[in-house]
Amino acid sequence: MERGRTYGEVWKAGARRLAEAGIDGAEAEAGAELLFLHALGTGKAELLRDLREPFPEDKRPAWEAMLARRAAGEPAQYVTGEQYFYGRRFAVTPAVLIPRPETELLAEAVLAGAAEIVAAQALGGGAGSAERVAKGALAAGELAEQGASGAGALRLLDVGTGSGALAVTLKLERPQWRVTASDLSPDALTVAAGNAAALGAQIRFVQGDLLAPFLPGGDHAGERIDILVSNPPYIPSGDLAGLQPEVREHEPRLALDGGPDGLAPYRRMAAQLAGLDEMPKMVAWEVGIHQAEQAAELLRQANAWDEVRIVRDYAGIDRHVLAIRGLRKI
């Protein structure tokens, strides 16, 4: 590898090495920057300030080791051991799927849908409350206050939590909620619990397969679930071989393989809903490309919802499906 002498030279040499390893040019630049900042333990502003300064040789072994791992195809997030989600740092390991930006939109959709549910509950406060809801006068802060007093103290279950990014984010955004996160993988639960502890989120963790722990015979049977959120595996089994090598060879297959058509986890969850003591007020799923309408139909068949809506991601892809009940009073 070229042995540049300044920060700028070393950084650019690293980007060239990643490009030569077959990583796309833009990704090579972004990956080199991410690894470089992590190896140096510094920020982008400091790096730009010091571009012409001599590169500290004591940092070179760590930098070159990280660069070699990325050049070999390992995702940069596993190399650094972290990924940011909703503005917060989450630890990630090969035991969990790397959180994606589009999943932040699922968190936002859940928060918005929950606010609608709480607003509908607020109609129980009398005519004045009803009028303010109808006029949109119940702002987010007011709804949060109602939540703290009980009206919005919702119980949320995140199924297939992985790194815990969704569960932790939603708990921190709505501290009054009671949040449970489940996963089939004990290793994933260890990562998620570590993230919850590091970020100060009080979450209960449950090991189990989809909704099984909450059905008759499960350890948590009979518990109320107001919001069910899940980003389950949704890649069709036959498509796994065609995924990018860094995904196919490094991210956990358990978090990727959604069965023959990618919809197996959704079918199972949709069927399991009937076994709960009470249907959730909201079910929110992330889905794969071209799966949204089929997933929505699985929920419509329950005939329990006031509305089933589809939310698009940053690329305009139908990415999230939300089924909500309890809105008729608004």
pLDDT at 24: 86
> Residues 55-78: pLDDT tens digits?
999 999 999 999 999 999 999 999
pLDDT at 147: 45
Beta strands of the chain (E only): which ranges?
Answer: 82-85, 88-91, 155-159, 178-183, 204-207, 227-230, 282-286, 307-312, 318-324
> Residues 172-181: pLDDT tens digits?
999 999 999 9
Dist CA 268 CA 272 (whole Å): 6
Report DSSP state, residue 162.
T
> Residues 191-219: pLDDT tens digits?
999 999 999 999 999 999 999 999 999 99
> Residues 14-38: pLDDT tens digits?
999 999 999 988 889 999 999 999 9
CB neighbourhood size of 77 (10 A): 23
Q: Residue 326's pLDDT band (boundaries 50, 70, 90)?
A: confident
Give, in order, the Cα–Cα distances in Å from 250 to each of 102, 218, 219, 253: 20, 32, 33, 9
Q: What is the mean pLDDT of residues 300-304?
A: 91
Amino acid at 220: H
Q: For the CA atoms of the chain, what is the radius of gyration?
A: 22
**pTM confidence score:** 0.88
Assess contact for 158 and 180: CB atoms under 8 A: yes
pLDDT at 124: 58
**Structure-token pair, residue 150:** 């009980």
Report DSSP state, residue 312.
E
Average pLDDT, the chain: 90
